[in-house]
Structure 1
């Protein structure tokens, strides 16, 4: 083979390697994005659950104050 043919084959082979690497990187990036979305969704669910617990605690706290005031007024 001549030097020119080796050079052309090297360019072609390099192009295939680069295309494969690009596809692999795209797949990895997509997988990381999906994992981040799943993590975000889990955090959102946890925040919602905590907000609901805070609402319940606030309701309990205000109910007790109301009941205490009624009991004091009843005396």
Structure 2
């Protein structure tokens, strides 16, 4: 029952170490990418068409090679 009303959409994005270096920033300074946010929003919009009363918490998780990860809440 603890998780009965919990609804989340979690999108994972992976960048190899080489691709992450192309951003020329530290992991802590990395910002959510606009196209990824749009994609996740579209997922939520599509789900809401099926279940309009559902409250959904969207999260975007970026994995950076073997360096670590960063989580963004879009809620």
TM-score higher than 0.5 here?
Answer: no
Which has the larger share of strand?
2
Normalised by the length of structure 1, the TM-score is 0.28
Structure (1 or 2) with the larger CA radius of gyration = 1
